[in-house]
Amino acid sequence: MTDSTGRLSAVSLLPSAHLFPMTRPVTRQRADVIPEWPAVGDGATEAQPMPMRVRVSQTTFVPAPPMLKCLIIDDDPFVGAAIKTIMARQGWEMVLSSRAHAGINAFESSAFDLVLVDLFMPGMNGFDTILRIRQLAPTVPIVAMSGFEFSKSDGTSQDFLGLAVQRGANCGVRKPFSQGQLMAAINSTLAPPRIGWPPR
């Protein structure tokens, strides 16, 4: 045991119970520095004070960033499940709705950082869904999704994704899409990008 003077006392466990007093100098040191015994061969003797040579690093605990939340509105359960898996790997919290009205209700009841909307669904379509979400949250990023193509009489195709952007979506991605294409579309709506890239 030690006291404030630096006196160290040790008691042997032998039957004779010898007491061995030892004394070492005590100096005032900073709280973030702890002493280290000098190694053999360093020129240290019993009469020399212990050098203060070990600095304890101070650890700063940084709180983890909050989990981002994404709303998927898509009537195709396979597409919704695939997107949910991809996004969950990137650390997103996912909410999946198979109908537009259910998705809007979910959006009104919680805060979301991103919305993915299919354009063609039973009941309320994706175009009107985008308009409604944009009314509720003018700045939330919205990505429109569609695999539907309609050929006009002149042989050209209707640009539904472009129409969705006119209705308020930030960008569109055509189905079927790869993981990289989905991530690129999402990254383009987030400033600065807040999702892992390249995709894992």
Q: Where are the domains of the chain?
A: 69-148+157-189
Mean pLDDT of 32-51: 51
State the amino acid at position 106 in one-letter form: A
Query: 145 or 154: whose pLDDT is higher?
Result: 145
Percent of the chain residues past pLDDT 70, beyond the cut:
58
Round to whole Å and give the CA distance between 102 and 93: 18
Q: 35 preceded by cis ω (within 30°)?
A: no
What would the pLDDT profile of 93-148 be if each residue is shown by its tens digit?
Answer: 999 999 999 999 999 999 999 999 999 999 999 999 999 999 999 999 999 999 87
Q: Which CATH architecture has domain 69-148+157-189?
A: 3-Layer(aba) Sandwich (3.40)
Contact (CB, 8 A) for 121 and 75: yes
The pLDDT of residue 90 is 87
Query: 34 or 141: whose pLDDT is higher?
Result: 141
Q: What is the pTM of this model?
A: 0.63
The pLDDT of residue 197 is 36
Contact (CB, 8 A) for 158 and 135: no
Query: 186 or 47: whose pLDDT is higher?
Result: 186
The pLDDT of residue 25 is 53
